[in-house]
Amino acid sequence: MTQLSIAQKRADLKAQIRDAAIMEFAEHGLAGTSTQGIADRAGITKNKLHYHIESKEDLYQQALDHVITIWAELFNGINLNQGPEVFLSDYIARKINFSLTHPAEVKMFTGEVMRGAPYLRENWAGSREVSRAAAREIERWAADGLIRPVNPMLLQFNIWAMTEAYAVLGPELRFMLDLQDGTDLDEAAICKEVTALVLQGLRI
């Protein structure tokens, strides 16, 4: 076996462990998750798991960092200079897609915030700078008459709340819609509704 294939196997196993940990943390939180549960979900022995991780807490931090990185990439992949309609439509669509396809990641992140975010605080400085950059652009849109004046940080929070709700409250929505658990939600319809609420609410 070549060094490259060995490295790839290790990377694949690391991702497998991380994904299993995210599922466990999303369901049980940090305190309620056991390394045995993570190992079982990953399909490996507990001894093998401990060979690849320093601790449950370190794995939890890695999982949070992974989610933060994904969200930063979702945001950074859109050109703010395209104007509010194009930017917000694209951003909302990306956020909703992530919530529908990665609900465990969103639930784990939300659970951490609800517990006071002890493991997130060291990483929030970077996220805050990204949000502040977006806030400045939102203020520029308002100054140029493209949208009505709004609190730019609250606008971002409202978008996060609406888009992330489809991961956190997905089971409730399916119940209200008389859908079976696990049924795919209509992503296009959700995007259309949330985008319309945001864009119409920003009209002058």
What does the DSSP assignment read for 16-41?
HHHHHHHHHHHHHHHHH--HHHHHHH
pTM of the predicted protein model: 0.86
What is the model's pLDDT at position 129? 83
Q: Where are the domains of the chain?
A: 1-53, 64-202
Interacting residues of 153 by C-beta distance below 8 A, sequence separation 6+: 131, 135
Per-residue pLDDT, averaged over 187-198, amounts to 96
Q: How far apart are the first and last CA of the chain?
A: 64
Q: Which residue's entry shows tokens 């399909």?
A: 43
Nearest one of 11, 14, 8 to 49, comparing CA atoms? 14
* pLDDT higher than threshold 80 for residue 86: yes
Token duo for residue 180 = 């079976």
What is the model's pLDDT at position 198? 97
Count of CB atoms within 10 A of residue 170's CB? Answer: 20
Per-residue pLDDT, averaged over 91-103, amounts to 93
What is the model's pLDDT at position 3? 66
What is the model's pLDDT at position 94? 92
| Res. 83 pLDDT band, cuts 50 70 90 | confident
Q: What is the pLDDT of residues 117-158, one digit of tens each?
A: 898 887 777 778 888 988 999 999 999 999 999 999 999 999
Q: What is the pLDDT of residues 2-44, one digit of tens each?
A: 766 777 888 889 999 999 999 999 999 999 999 999 999 999 9
pLDDT, averaged across the chain: 90
More confident residue, 73 or 42: 42
| Res. 204 pLDDT band, cuts 50 70 90 | low
What is the model's pLDDT at position 93? 95
| Alpha-helical runs (H) found in the chain | 3-32, 35-42, 46-52, 56-76, 84-101, 103-114, 124-143, 152-168, 170-176, 187-202
Interacting residues of 197 by C-beta distance below 8 A, sequence separation 6+: 162
CATH of 64-202, picked from 3.30.465.10, 3.60.10.10, 1.10.357.10, 3.40.50.300, is 1.10.357.10
What is the model's pLDDT at position 1? 59
CATH of 1-53, picked from 3.30.499.10, 2.60.120.260, 3.40.50.12660, 1.10.10.60, is 1.10.10.60
What is the model's pLDDT at position 35? 94
